[in-house]
Amino acid sequence: MRIVIMGTGPFAIPSCDRILSSGHTVSLVVTRPVVDPAAKKQPVRPVFSWAVEHGLQVFEPPSINSPEAIQRLKIEAADLFFVCDYGQILSAECLNASRLGGINLHGSLLPRHRGAAPVQWTILSGDPDAGATVILMNAKLDAGPAVSVVRTTILPDETSEHLESRLAILGAKCTEEAIEKLSAVSVIDSETIAGLGVQQDRLLITKAPRFSKQDGQLDFRLSANYLVRLVRACQPWPGTFAELAWRGSDKKMRLLIRSARAVEESSARPAGEAWQVTQSELDSWKVNELGESWPQAIAVSTGNGLLLIGRVQPAGRREMSVEEFLRGHALTNGGTFVLPASPVKQLVE
């Protein structure tokens, strides 16, 4: 088949590789343009770099739904559009510019987590499993029938960054399966759609909007389990943060919390109180069985349970283990993480 790829971010790359090696023709790669060419720091555009590396023709329209862009796509006479991590919603007119319309690889088990941040919301929601779904596209966001699905168990310490990388690789096989199914189709109609995929159950729809920087603020009045999910979901962006104040001192420091685990341990200490704990204490709580072994951690009392912090990044500095951090900033007398002036509402229960 003659395929047009539409993508911008890294999630699309494994599928792009799979399509290119499958024997189908990639006639054009459509990607988001640079907004400000004069800016010193340019956005990373992995799909653009991939297309250039493979000598493929690139098209960078400001709007994929403009008359000019649609006319350009019609000239391509593509059999199929493959859309992944692109950043724009295709109109019905745009989808009609190819013989079979388009398929989209989405980083969740649809209909859960429709939207721009499916992997982050999968982790934040505490889902036991994650997945990737290839849908036959329509003009609504992530709403078409599922043509191919893959499921995987989320690992105990897994962050959004790591899970997204895994799903991109697993999803590439879904992309290949969906394209092979469509290779046998001459036209897309209601009968064909019924045979190709499964309609999404509207009662199971959840939304996955993009996170903001403020969503990463930690409020230790919330439960340790929720805060750990938030830390994992927000890696690497927007990151989770809190301000640590040392007891008996005016010293304060803003920290990005890069790795955390929860212990269902009751504490009479007020929410936000922090102290350093040793490996023997960590071993007694069996937290090092969850992943990388921590020789030390910072324990924080929360609204329910203890939050254990294993890696931090002081403002303006590099990421480091808590063991390294405490060598220069010991919590000998303990400390307190400053609570937000107004309680932070959980993004999800």
Mean pLDDT of the chain: 95
* Least trusted range by pLDDT, from 2-11, 41-50, 110-119: 41-50
What is the model's pLDDT at position 40? 67
Phi-psi region of 193 (alpha: psi -120 to 50; beta: other; left: phi over 0): alpha
What is the model's pLDDT at position 189? 76
What is the model's pLDDT at position 155? 96
Give the separation between CA 278 and CA 207, rounded to whole angstroms.
40
In the predicted structure, residue 295 carries a pLDDT above the cut 70: yes
What is the model's pLDDT at position 43? 75
Q: Are 273 and 336 in contact (CB under 8 A)?
A: yes
How is residue 39 annotated by DSSP?
A: -
Please state the rounded mean pLDDT for residues 312-323: 97
Q: Are 166 and 152 in contact (CB under 8 A)?
A: yes
What is the model's pLDDT at position 132? 99
In the predicted structure, residue 166 carries a pLDDT above the cut 70: yes
Q: What is the dihedral of CA 218, 209, 40, 53, to 10 degrees?
A: 120
In the predicted structure, residue 48 carries a pLDDT above the cut 70: yes
In the predicted structure, residue 29 carries a pLDDT above the cut 70: yes
Pairing of strands 306-314, 320-321: antiparallel
First-to-final CA distance of the chain: 45
Torsional sign, CA 225, 226, 230, 233: positive
Q: Are 109 and 149 in contact (CB under 8 A)?
A: yes
In the predicted structure, residue 44 carries a pLDDT above the cut 90: no
Domains present along the chain, CATH in parentheses: 2-204 (3.40.50.170), 213-337 (3.10.25.10)
What is the model's pLDDT at position 76? 97
What is the model's pLDDT at position 38? 66
Which amino acid makes up residue 216? G
Q: What is the pLDDT of residues 73-109, one digit of tens each?
A: 999 999 999 999 999 999 999 999 999 999 999 999 9
Task: Name residue 131's beta-bridge partners.
Answer: 151
Q: Helix (H, G, I), strand (E, B), or coil: what is residue 35?
A: coil
